[in-house]
Amino acid sequence: MSTPAVAIIYTSNGPVETALSALHHTLPVPIGTQVLAETVCSPINPSDVRQVTGANPFKQKATTKLGTDHPVTVGGNEGLFRVLQVGKDSPLKAGDLCIPRVPGLGTWRTHILCDQTDLVCVPSSLTVEQAATIGVNPLTAYQLLTQFVDLQKGNWVLQNGGNSAVGKLITQMARIMGVNTISVVREREDFESVAEELRDLGATQVITDTQNQDLTFSVAEWIGNSSVRIAFNCVGGTSASALVKKLSQGGTLVTYGALNGADLVIPFATPEFVFKGIVATGYWLTANIMRDPELKIKTLEKVYRYYQQGLLKAPSFSKARCSFEDFAHCYQ
């Protein structure tokens, strides 16, 4: 018995309004190690949209397995699936909740037929929101905090984009680790209420971008004898340079995004490299997981534990229940 399904596909890069379309197709009964699952929910991340437009260098694989004449690509990298049926050689069972094991599986679809090795089961104790959004932002936050510097209790981390989903997760995870945070957020009328929300999540200090870029503004009084070991930059430009000024000797700047646009530059004065011994590098979850899928599993287990212990709040997001025919409007 075949299952009717809809997938949001693209055949070439372009604006989401014109590149995406809904593909109605049917999926056969799973055989061997295959799994047939329904989609519980599938987030839309800015990076998913950039894959459609072509701004992201990671290319999802196109396929003709959905019955099309030409290869098509299913959008989306995050999603929560509930297993409906399994082939006789699959260790999964109906009702299991799963997320994609590696990027590029294509999650914007009502149903998926794939090999069981394409999926990772998640604990049923997680909420739908926790499980559906666990694969990108929490992993990014945890790996940023743990892959570059061996942070000790009492150390400080500094970040711009402090009010972003990743920013809030970094703040919460740093608190769990006993690490202090300074979060930079944009100047805004409701700064105090945003700052209070971030402090509630665990931010030690919250400053405005104006304070961050003010060369007379010093964090020395907060830090005392401790160190600002690492700074996380998702903005670029002068905001990133201002983070570097606050790093301690030998500090690390990790760039993981460019909210202000992908071609912004990060100016470094040579003495910061030569005399202050700064290391500047980048982080890209997709490349990290493609290189080492096992690391994803290990990181997920840390995040499960945080959620199960009630130590971590999933970042908020806007929910949309949209018709598959009108899917492109969800991206607006």
Of 68 and 260, nearer to a second copy (C-beta) is 260
Of 106 and 257, nearer to a second copy (C-beta) is 257
- By the 8 A CB rule, do 243 and 267 touch? no
Of 261 and 310, nearer to a second copy (C-beta) is 261
Alpha-carbon dihedral sign for residues 221, 223, 228, 233: negative
Minimum distance of a second copy from residue 140's CB (angstroms): 11
Of 225 and 281, nearer to a second copy (C-beta) is 281
Q: Locate 37 and state its tokens.
A: 């699952």
Binding site for a second copy (CB under 8 A): 57, 236, 255-258, 262-284, 287
Pairwise CA distance, residues 98 & 15, whole Å: 30
Of 284 and 331, nearer to a second copy (C-beta) is 284
Of 39 and 47, nearer to a second copy (C-beta) is 47
Half-sphere exposure of 211 toward its Cβ, with a 13 Å CA cutoff? 15
- By the 8 A CB rule, do 23 and 79 touch? no
Minimum distance of a second copy from residue 284's CB (angstroms): 5
Minimum distance of a second copy from residue 270's CB (angstroms): 4
Q: Locate 330 and state its tokens.
A: 């969800």
Pure H helices in 70-190 = 128-132, 137-146, 165-177
Minimum distance of a second copy from residue 292's CB (angstroms): 14
Minimum distance of a second copy from residue 276's CB (angstroms): 8
Of 265 and 297, nearer to a second copy (C-beta) is 265
Of 142 and 283, nearer to a second copy (C-beta) is 283
Minimum distance of a second copy from residue 275's CB (angstroms): 5
Minimum distance of a second copy from residue 254's CB (angstroms): 8
Residue type, 294: E
| Residues counted in the chain | 332
Phi, psi of 228 (to 5 degrees): -90, 95
Half-sphere exposure of 120 toward its Cβ, with a 13 Å CA cutoff? 23
Pairwise CA distance, residues 275 & 122, whole Å: 47
Pairwise CA distance, residues 306 & 241, whole Å: 33
Pairwise CA distance, residues 172 & 187, whole Å: 22
Minimum distance of a second copy from residue 325's CB (angstroms): 34
DSSP per-residue letters across 110-128? SEEEEEGGGEEE--TTS-H
